[in-house]
């Protein structure tokens, strides 16, 4: 199968770091990356986006992996959206998978060590760092809220794994509900959860009807966390809930993207006053995700000071995120 795709390999003339996604050229990283490389003393490293369709042809994923594996100046990649599909299509091409990738069946980082191709799933770590910053310690002990996660893909899995791995019971929700469009992804997530020890009660719903999602959301206890990990509002239009869907009172809404139409973020913002919803976006997730993968690919370690410095550089280039109230918003406050 590899022979099929190796004839398309391009011999790079500069050390190249790939970004594998859906609309990579619109990402802030295209502007941020060269500035970051200057800051860390690796200005020769360039970034290149590779766009795949959602659930693309497995052959096409293998061609991307072959480019990295066989071209000497192709250093590695950050993978978003296709983390599961890419690994499913190309698992045999990797020489080593970190436990995180094995456990989740996904790769967000592709790197090389000598001649070996390695895959890591950084999202359990990076979504966890973001959630820790959003929630603070002991959140569930104080709020008694649950978690509702729309999307059982790479990020939905990573978020589930993060909560399972929290050692303090006050950092774990009693219940985590996952809603996904396809049954297959839910079954994969369930398989992962069943293979681990956890006292979190998982509930899995296969559904695409946003009015059904509204009902599920309306029944969440106060103080819950509602997460949009579907890519809707960035990779595809819309939101998993309708404009009439009520967020739980005193809840946290986390849209894991930071760019795009961000309908879910707007819906939550519309209720920030009337239902006291704290609304978060995916910028911090973006910073943690990128710095962790760059460190892995370039074989570096970033300390907290460097992370802060890189964060400041990126902040200057961040696209503005402006809330635009729409007619019919529940609370346009
Ligand atoms: N801020 C950041 O740095 C950051 C980091 C990680 C990810 N992300 C973004 O987060 C999004 C998700 O990433 P991912 O890697 O988890 O993608 P993924 O593996 O494609 O997962 C998305 C999941 O959402 C499901 N879905 C789509 N529409 C739905 C709906 N209406 N209701 C319920 N489920 C629905 C899909 O179901 P099917 O199984 O039917 O396809 C799929 O399982 C992407 O936009 C990605 O770019 C951002």
> What was the pLDDT predicted at 332?
42
> What was the pLDDT predicted at 264?
98
Q: Using pLDDT thresholds of 50, 70 and 90, give the confidence band for residue 7.
A: confident
Which of 19, 53, 80, 192 for a ligand 1 pocket mutation test, highest count of atoms within 8 Å of Cβ? 80
What is 205-252 written as a DSSP string?
A: EE---HHHHHHHHHTSPTT-EEEE-S-BTTTBSS-SS-TTPPPPTT-E
Chain segment 65-78, per-residue pLDDT in tens = 999 999 999 999 99
C-beta of residue 2 within 8 angstroms of C-beta of residue 93: yes
Tokens of 24: 């990579």
Q: Which helix (H) or strand (E) holds 19?
A: strand 16-21
Average pLDDT on 267-288 reads: 97
Cα 197 to ligand 1 centroid, rounded to whole Å: 25
Chain segment 147-156, per-residue pLDDT in tens = 999 999 999 9
C-beta of residue 84 within 8 angstroms of C-beta of residue 153: yes
Ligand 1: nearest atom to the Cα of 240? 31
* Dist CA 161 CA 140 (whole Å): 16
Structural domains in the chain, sorted by start: 2-121+285-317 (3.40.50.10860), 125-281 (3.40.50.720)
> What was the pLDDT predicted at 133?
95
What is 289-307 written as a DSSP string?
A: HHHHHHHHHHT----HHHH
**Residue 289 half-sphere exposure toward CB, CA atoms < 13 A:** 27
Kindly state if the Cβ of 158 falls inside 6 Å of ligand 1: no
> What was the pLDDT predicted at 285?
96
User: Residue 151: left if φ>0, alpha if ψ -120 to 50, beta else—which one?
Assistant: left
C-beta of residue 256 within 8 angstroms of C-beta of residue 314: no
C-beta of residue 139 within 8 angstroms of C-beta of residue 105: no
Instruction: Using the predicted structure, report yes or no on whether residue 183 has a pLDDT greater than 90.
Output: yes
Residues facing 252 on adjacent strands: 225, 278
Kindly state if the Cβ of 155 falls inside 6 Å of ligand 1: yes
Instruction: Using the predicted structure, report yes or no on whether residue 333 has a pLDDT greater than 50.
Output: no
> What was the pLDDT predicted at 110?
98
Cα 73 to ligand 1 centroid, rounded to whole Å: 30
**Residue 186 half-sphere exposure toward CB, CA atoms < 13 A:** 17
> What was the pLDDT predicted at 76?
98
Taking CA atoms only, the protein residue closest to ligand 1 atom 37 is: 181
Average pLDDT on 297-309 reads: 96
Average model confidence (pLDDT) for the chain? 95
Taking CA atoms only, the protein residue closest to ligand 1 atom 46 is: 81
The residue whose two tokens read 């774990």 is 172
Taking the CA atoms of the chain, what radius of gyration do you get in angstroms? 20
Instruction: Using the predicted structure, report yes or no on whether residue 10 has a pLDDT greater than 50.
Output: yes
Ligand 1: nearest atom to the Cα of 230? 24
Cα 44 to ligand 1 centroid, rounded to whole Å: 32
Chain segment 103-149, per-residue pLDDT in tens = 889 999 999 998 899 999 999 999 999 999 999 999 999 999 999 99
Kindly state if the Cβ of 254 falls inside 6 Å of ligand 1: no
Average pLDDT on 251-278 reads: 97
The pTM for the full model equals 0.92
Nearest CA to 319 out of 292, 282, 288 is that of 282
Instruction: Using the predicted structure, report yes or no on whether residue 331 has a pLDDT greater than 90.
Output: no
Torsion of CA 160, 249, 182, 88, to 10 degrees: -30
Cα 180 to ligand 1 centroid, rounded to whole Å: 9
> What was the pLDDT predicted at 288?
97
Per DSSP, the three-state class of 32 is helix
* Dist CA 195 CA 201 (whole Å): 14
Cα 268 to ligand 1 centroid, rounded to whole Å: 18
Residue 297 — φ and ψ, nearest 5°? -70, -40
Instruction: Using the predicted structure, report yes or no on whether residue 210 has a pLDDT greater than 60.
Output: yes
Cα 155 to ligand 1 centroid, rounded to whole Å: 7
Ligand 1: nearest atom to the Cα of 83? 15
> What was the pLDDT predicted at 6?
75
């Amino acid at each position: 199968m590899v022979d099929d795709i190796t004839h398309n390999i391009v011999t790079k003339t500069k050390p190249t770091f790939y970004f594998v996604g859906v609309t990579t050229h619109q990402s802030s990283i295209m502007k941020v990356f060269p500035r970051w490389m200057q800051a860390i003393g690796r200005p020769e490293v360039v970034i290149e986006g590779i766009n795949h369709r959602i659930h693309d042809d497995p052959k096409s994923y293998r061609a991307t992996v072959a480019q990295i594996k066989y071209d000497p100046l192709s250093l590695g990649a950050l993978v978003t959206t296709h983390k599961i599909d890419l690994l499913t299509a190309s698992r045999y091409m990797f020489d080593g998978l970190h436990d995180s990738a094995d456990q989740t069946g996904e790769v967000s980082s592709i790197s090389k060590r000598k001649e070996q191709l390695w895959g890591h799933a950084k999202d359990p770590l990076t979504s966890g760092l973001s959630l820790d910053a959003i929630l603070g310690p002991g959140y569930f002990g104080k709020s008694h809220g649950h978690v509702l996660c729309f999307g059982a893909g790479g990020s939905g899995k990573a978020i589930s794994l993060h909560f399972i791995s929290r050692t303090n019971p006050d950092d774990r929700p009693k219940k985590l509900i996952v809603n996904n469009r396809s049954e297959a992804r839910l079954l994969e997530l369930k398989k992962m959860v069943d293979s681990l020890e956890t006292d979190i009660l998982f509930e899995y719903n296969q559904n695409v009807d946003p009015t059904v999602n509204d009902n599920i959301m309306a029944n969440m206890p106060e103080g819950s966390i509602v997460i949009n990990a579907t890519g809707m509002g960035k990779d595809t239009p819309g939101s998993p809930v309708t404009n009439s869907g009520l967020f739980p009172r005193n809840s946290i809404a986390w849209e894991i993207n930071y760019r795009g139409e961000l309908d879910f973020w707007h819906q939550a913002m519309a209720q920030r006053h009337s239902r006291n919803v704290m609304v978060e976006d995916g910028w911090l997730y973006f910073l943690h995700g990128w710095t962790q993968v760059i460190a892995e690919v370039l074989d570096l370690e970033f300390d907290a000071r460097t992370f802060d410095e890189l964060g400041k550089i990126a902040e200057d280039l961040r696209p503005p995120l402006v809330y635009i109230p729409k007619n019919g918003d529940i609370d346009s406050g």
